[in-house]
């Protein structure tokens, strides 16, 4: 089966490319490299010993997208290409709606034109941001979120569900990721955030490497065991494996399947910080800062549906996440920039 991966040079995309190639899938990648580097593709080739057909194009460019379908004739698509920074989405809502929503529509129209019936879509646990009851299962979906990025995920899920309703031959997996962290154990590919990281683990990694001075822990008065925010961290390689399982599921399926991809375990900011200190052997200075606007106390997955229907179970724990992140960070202090 040949899979077209949109956004395949990005953080989750590049790890998924490795997992797909190792599982025996053929792939091609389309990525405009706006927030990623071609170096990631070269390193995936180096890790797998396989050459990847690559197109530096935007999925918003319909003609370019069609010519990729024309040449590659994919059997399935995994759609990662999107903007993903919550704070930025509040400042630039139109850019987020344009890229994420139009991008998904452009892809669905092209799939229709070329009769491609299988799609795996990158959704997010952000669709659960208004849910109070933990853990969240796929039915907890509340159609409410706190920011434009989150709305694009809710909207794209709905656009895809409606498209599937209109064409019963479509077979789609909507994957709701919790907090992906860590890196490939080789240290060759990993997360390469532009500028100062917004997310916890890349920030901690840059404190450990001396690029940043100290972590601000956003709030220690949440109703959680140690007062700091609790999230469901998932190793990016486990997440990548989840895509392979989802692809196998939709290969013979029909309709829309929605799955949480998380570990099912909540871990606090301070627990993550201490795990990283242990894995890296470095002390991480921190201060307690006010809560970050829009944050919630805790969110973690009920991953039982993915386990039951896909056989998905995380294999890497918090220590593995920290060890592999530190391996990537210490060998690539400036990410992919040489």
Residues that bind ligand UD1 (CB under 6 A): 86, 124, 126, 179-180, 198-200, 203, 215-218, 229, 231, 269, 292, 294-295
* The two structure tokens encoding residue 303: 């991953």
SS3 174: strand
Nearer to ligand UD1, 103 or 180 (CB): 180
63-72 exposure pattern, b = at least 16 Cβ within 10 A, e = fewer: eebeebbeeb
Nearest distance in Å: CB 201, ligand UD1: 6
* Catalytic-labelled residue, pool 96, 121, 128, 149: 149
Nearest distance in Å: CB 284, ligand UD1: 11
149 is catalytic: yes
Nearer to ligand UD1, 39 or 191 (CB): 191
Nearest distance in Å: CB 325, ligand UD1: 12
Of the candidates 71, 103, 126, 116, the one whose C-alpha atom is nearest the C-alpha of residue 6 is 103
Nearer to ligand UD1, 65 or 301 (CB): 301
* The two structure tokens encoding residue 178: 């919790």
Contact present, 172 and 164 (Cβ < 8 Å): yes
Nearer to ligand UD1, 21 or 204 (CB): 204
Return the residue nearest ligand UD1 (CB atom): 229
Nearest distance in Å: CB 200, ligand UD1: 4
Nearest distance in Å: CB 48, ligand UD1: 25
| Residue 135: DSSP 8-state | S
Q: Which conformational region is residue 311 in: left (phi greater than 0), alpha (psi within -120 to 50 degrees), or beta?
A: left
Task: Compute the chain's Rg from CA coordinates.
Answer: 19
**Cis omega (within 30 of 0) for bond into 296:** no
Distance CA 51, CA 108 (A): 27
Strands 26-30 and 2-6: parallel
Q: Is 127 exposed, middle or buried (0-12, 13-18, 19+ CB in 10 A)?
A: buried
Nearer to ligand UD1, 174 or 215 (CB): 215
Distance CA 269, CA 261 (A): 20
* The two structure tokens encoding residue 172: 């789609």
E strand residue ranges, the chain: 2-6, 26-30, 54-55, 76-79, 118-124, 171-177, 179-181, 215-218, 230-231, 233-235, 255-261, 267-268, 286-289, 298-299
Nearer to ligand UD1, 295 or 317 (CB): 295
Nearest distance in Å: CB 231, ligand UD1: 5
Nearest distance in Å: CB 244, ligand UD1: 21
Nearer to ligand UD1, 87 or 333 (CB): 87
Distance CA 80, CA 177 (A): 12
Active-site residue numbers?
Answer: 149
């Amino acid at each position: 089966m040949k899979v077209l991966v949109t956004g395949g040079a990005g953080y989750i995309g590049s790890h998924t490319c490795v997992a797909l190639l190792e599982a025996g899938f053929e792939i091609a990648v389309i990525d405009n490299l706006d927030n990623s580097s071609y170096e990631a593709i070269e390193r995936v080739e180096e890790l797998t010993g396989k050459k990847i057909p690559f197109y530096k194009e935007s999925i918003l460019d319909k003609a370019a997208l069609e010519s990729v379908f024309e040449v590659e004739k994919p059997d399935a698509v995994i759609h990662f290409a999107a903007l993903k920074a919550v704070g930025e989405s509040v400042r630039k809502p139109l850019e987020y709606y344009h890229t994420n929503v139009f991008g998904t529509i452009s892809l669905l129209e092209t799939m229709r034109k070329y009769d491609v019936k299988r799609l795996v879509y990158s959704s997010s646990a952000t669709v659960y941001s208004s849910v109070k009851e933990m853990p969240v299962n796929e039915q907890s979906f509340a159609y409410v979120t706190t920011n434009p990025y989150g709305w694009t995920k809710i909207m794209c899920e709905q656009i895809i569900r409606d498209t599937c309703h209109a064409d019963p031959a479509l077979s789609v997996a909507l994957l709701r990721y919790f907090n992906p962290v860590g890196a490939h154990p080789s240290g060759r590919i990993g997360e390469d955030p532009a500028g100062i990281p917004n997310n916890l683990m890349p920030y901690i990694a840059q404190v450990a490497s001396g690029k940043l001075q100290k972590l601000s822990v956003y709030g220690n008065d949440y109703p959680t065991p140690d007062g700091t925010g609790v999230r469901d961290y998932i190793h990016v390689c486990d997440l990548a494996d989840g895509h392979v399982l989802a692809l196998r599921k939709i290969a013979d399926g029909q309709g829309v399947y929605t799955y949480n991809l998380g570990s099912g375990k909540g871990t606090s900011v301070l627990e993550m910080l201490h795990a990283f200190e242990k894995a890296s052997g470095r002390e991480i200075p921190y201060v307690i800062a006010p809560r970050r606007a829009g944050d919630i106390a805790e969110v973690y997955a009920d991953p039982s549906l993915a386990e039951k229907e896909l056989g998905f179970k995380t294999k890497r724990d918090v220590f593995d996440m920290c060890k592999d992140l530190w391996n990537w960070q210490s060998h690539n202090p400036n990410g992919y920039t040489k």
